[in-house]
Amino acid sequence: MQIVLQPNNSNVIRASLLAFAVIAPFLSIALVGSGFFAALGPLFVSHMLMLYPTLVANCQWWGPVFTRFQTSEQEVWLTIDDGPTPEQTPAILEILERFEARATFFVIGANAEKYPHLITEILARGHALANHTYTHPRAMFWCASAAKIRSEIDRCAETLRTLPERPALFFRSPVGMKNLFVHPALARRGMVLIGWTTRGLDTVKRDPTAVAERIEKGVQPGAIILLHEGQRLAKEPEFNPRCIERTLQRLATHGYRFVIPRPEQLRT
């Protein structure tokens, strides 16, 4: 299925950033006679303008990032990153079943390859899969080369297609970071970048109730919710399932249903 992108200014902004990056060194050379700091100015501004859309999650400057979906109902999209994990995925699936919730699992390809039975179980329960890179290189994905980005996307996609044959149209980058190579790679593969409306910061917070409260404050119809699995597996394997359970409990009291939106519903 082809996802139709809504018109926005991403292409113009992207072209302007790249053009300024090319011009900045020549401006610096021209300003050498005006002093060191004046000459450094264009290069500094250029670097900051390149780093901002790279490091700031959901920034649209490099290209569209879908952060919500269109709906007239009391619906939200629950997305769960970093699985599958044998310690937590089965418990999460049971919780989702209890609340009659559907979710999209943004899986790490290496984990999917290691635990194919969990991928099969996710699909059997009526949930969806999406691409979250093959190795989840969170420390360097923001500065990865075009070849590295292509490899991370393709290796995960190849794994998901074999377990079983279902293409994953959606991609989420590690920690939400992306650089100028990500959108072209996705476009050539018919994929799109998914961000979020609200997240629980469950990779930082230690209290599941605080995680759920944060999501509750930021939720609205059509929201994309970001939660994780795979955190604190050794010391507290029930942590992520509890975060998800308390989030579902709180939002259910407000009448929210947990659905997987159609691609044409996605909005930036």
* Cα 216-246-130 angle, rounded to 5 deg: 80
pLDDT score of 145: 98
Q: Which secondary-structure segment (H or E) carries 69?
A: strand 68-69
Helix, strand, or coil (residue 77): strand
Same domain, 38 and 72: no
Query: Is 166's pLDDT higher than 70?
Result: no
Mean pLDDT of the chain: 94
Q: How far apart are CA 153 and CA 143, in angstroms?
A: 15
Same domain, 132 and 261: yes
2 part of a folded domain: no
Same domain, 14 and 133: no
pTM across the whole model: 0.93
pLDDT score of 216: 98
**Residues whose CB falls within 8 Å of the CB of residue 67, separated by 6 or more in sequence, listed in order:** 58, 195, 196, 197, 224, 267, 268
204 part of a folded domain: yes
Same domain, 134 and 257: yes
Token pair 């002093």 is at which residue? 35
85 part of a folded domain: yes
Quick: pLDDT tens for 177-189: 999 999 999 999 9
* Active site (catalytic) residues: 81, 228
pLDDT score of 6: 55
Count of domains for the chain: 2
Q: What average pLDDT does the segment 35-53 reach?
A: 94
209 part of a folded domain: yes
pLDDT score of 8: 66
Q: How far apart are CA 149 and CA 11, in angstroms?
A: 20
Same domain, 145 and 39: no
Selection from 265, 254, 259 nearest residue 103 by Cα: 259
Note whether 128 and 77 are within 8 A (CB).
no
Domain CATH number, residue 187: 3.20.20.370
201 part of a folded domain: yes
**Whole domain around residue 77: which residue ranges?**
65-267
